[in-house]
Chains A and B, each alone.
Chain A
Amino acid sequence: MAQNRIIPAAALIAIGGSAGSLDVLLKTLPFLEPSHNKAILIILHRKPTDDEVLVELLAFKSAWPVKEAEEGEPILPGHVYVAPPDYHLLIESNRSFSLDASEKINYSRPSIDVSFESAAEVYGPTLVALILSGANTDGTAGMKIVKKRGGTCAAQSPASATTPYMPQHAIKSVQMERVLQPDEIPAYINQLFSGL
């Protein structure tokens, strides 16, 4: 069956953002180079009633296919997945997505912490967590687990962020591999796992 040929992404770049992060993503996605081994997962704080406008907007700017992550869907390389509104997004050990409608974490659903932690369990050293502009502390606790599992953490430079609190808080608590200006992010992502 065709199922046998599905080879999930070997590496994952999980990007968390809140207020002010959409602009950075729109400036990053057009410059992604094709990849046969890594996928991108975007966890953005958004209203529960948000429809697919965000996905369409990102898809319009992206060199890679962009879609909302669906329950049970395998994570394919060269794809950008967006966490759906009003659900937490988790990753199963067979590298597929699963959803969770439990209580908000850090006043947020989807919560960046929840996805970072779950991705860390599965992807370990082949996970890079990147935190962008935002106004709360979501992402920091998740990044600690990412570190514990051997993954890599990076942040948008707070000085460049419209809302610097989120990357600032993460930088204070977690050792970052890189603190990036928005225009450095595409090149950084492109070189990740290039030898894998």
Chain B
Amino acid sequence: MDSQQLISDRDIEMLLNDVINLYGYDFTEYSKASLRRRIQRLFSIDKFPAFAEFRYRIKNDPEYFSRFVEEITVNVTEMFRDPSFYQALREEVLPVLATHPFIRIWHAGCSTGEEVYSMAILLHEANLLHKSLLYATDINPTVLEKLRSGIFPLSQMKQYSENYILSGGKDEFSRYYTAKYDRAKFDENLSKGMIVSTHNLVSDRSFNAFQLIVCRNVLIYFDKGLKDKALSLFDESLEKLGFLALGSKENIKFSPIAHKYRQLPDRQKIWRKIE
């Protein structure tokens, strides 16, 4: 990428304003460093000769705008990412959820859904899946199509299987999918209780009362103001004594909702709503 042009802050600001005005997506409160890197990356990959042309294309080609959203929102996810987190869900959270007649879980910013399927496997193994609804939402409709298909690259399964075992999984991980060519299709029983929909954490409102909200590695891309706003949205959407689960480097410590929550032991990024 020797020949890459460097994009200025002013360029990015103008582009983000176009995007709000034309498409209603607001990225202005996203962390700048990461956003800049992803915009720069897309600009280089698609070989635009000048930033003005990149901007013009986004303004005038809605299909290219979809690509823009897909590329600048991070869609990297894994099954059973951070196995000790999933172990804590198995041991500390699911036994509490089991006491409810009906379980509602929201995966906010779920991307292609690997973590939603991981949760479905946990619920299945705890014999809770039949009475659970898993809401899976993301800003980006394209990634949700992948989630709906339940098909993931077979090349990842070795890693996922290791994560699964480290999380306390006792079964053969391969019993949950059928391998075909280079793909793994997950058992449809796992996706029966999934409700998949677009939701924008910047602009959309709370839509249900949940016992568990999982939002991992999404808040790291938000500025402080937007992060607090998203956390308040989660707070409004959680039942009392419900659980909020974040990514391994995310925290509610300095947010307005912090005083209402107590963190689970062992430094897991899971908080319980106590008031």
Contact = CB atoms under 8 A, between A and B. Distances in A.
B250 A92 contact: no
Prevailing SS type, chain B contact patch: loop
A155 B6 CA distance: 25
B247 A101 contact: yes
Contacts of B38: 102
B33 A90 contact: yes
A98 B76 contact: no
Contact of A71 (B32, B37, B76, B249): B249
Most chain-A Cβ atoms within 10 A of its Cβ — which of B6, B34, B82? B34
Interface stretch (B14-22, B136-144, B189-197, B217-225): B217-225
Most chain-B Cβ atoms within 10 A of its Cβ — which of A49, A102, A118? A102
B36 interface: yes
Contact of A91 (B9, B33, B220): B33
A141 B33 contact: no
Contacts of A102: 34, 38, 74, 76
B50 interface: no
Most chain-A Cβ atoms within 10 A of its Cβ — which of B2, B6, B33, B37? B33
B33 A101 contact: no
Size bracket of the A interface: 20 to 34
Given A70-B249, A87-B249, A99 B220 contact: yes
B9 A93 contact: yes
B31 A98 contact: yes
Contact of B221 (A49, A100, A117, A121): A100
A144 interface: yes
A74 B82 CA distance: 26
Contacts of A49: 82-83
B208 interface: no
A14 to B, nearest CB: 14
Contacts of A141: 1
A84 B249 contact: yes
B174 interface: no
A84 B220 CA distance: 13
Most chain-B Cβ atoms within 10 A of its Cβ — which of A87, A91, A100, A144? A100
A33 interface: no
B31 A92 contact: yes
B248 interface: yes
Interface string B224-264: 10000000000000000000000111110000000000000
B224 A100 contact: no
Contacts of A84: 249
Interface of A: 49, 70-72, 84, 86-87, 90-93, 98-103, 114, 117-118, 121, 141, 144, 148
The 10 lowest CB-CB distance pairs between A and B, nearest first, are A90-B33, A101-B217, A102-B74, A100-B34, A99-B220, A98-B31, A92-B33, A98-B33, A103-B76, A102-B76
